Amino acid sequence: IINSVVLLILLSALTDPDQYHLTSAELGGEFEFMDDANMCIATAISLLMILICAMATYGAYKQHAAWIIPFFCYQIFDFALNTLVAISVLVYPSTIQDYLRQLPNNFPYKEEIMSVNPTCLVVIILLFISIILAFKGYLISCVWNCYRYINSRNNSDVLVYITTNDTAV
């Protein structure tokens, strides 16, 4: 559902670019926020995500385990990227302050966030990222358990024991 909403926003931005255009003065920098090429790439990624989520839903509904694998791979990739973000925050904590300085002046609570002790800010951000990583890990285990459940249900290897008075086969 979230991917569909993002896709609708991106498509409306492509049809009416003046409505979503931010000038470099509003952004406080020398770069454009979203040009048409970035919009098209974001639209393609959003369509791909909708397709992958639909495949996972169809695979779970119809009990086809192979249809769940692309969604599982996406989750692993997303978890790995978020882990790299956490590691970069841990290794280079000064980048948070640099990032905050680059935000537009009208960004909500920018001054309040910048006034927080940098060490405390790093701990808060790492705690937040850790909670997100734990939740993503839980969701990965849910998808993996769904895959294993469907695989075991569709597995036709059933052991049959025939017992007689003397032997068991």
SS (H, E, C) the chain: CHHHHHHHHHHHHHHCCCCCCCCHHHHCCCCCCCCHHHHHHHHHHHHHHHHHHHHHHHHHHHCCHHHCHHHHHHHHHHHHHHHHHHHHHHHCCHHHHHHHHHCCCCCCCHHHHHCCCHHHHHHHHHHHHHHHHHHHHHHHHHHHHHHHHHHHHHCCCCCCCCECCCCEC
Percent pLDDT > 70 in the chain is: 78
Binned at pLDDT 50, 70 and 90, residue 160 comes out as low
- Give me the mean pLDDT over the 51-75 stretch: 93
- Give me the mean pLDDT over the 35-54 stretch: 83
- pLDDT for 3-19, tens place per residue? 777 777 777 777 776 66
Query: Full-prediction pTM beyond 0.85?
Result: no
pLDDT at 103: 82
Q: How many C-beta atoms surround the C-beta of residue 122 within 10 A?
A: 19
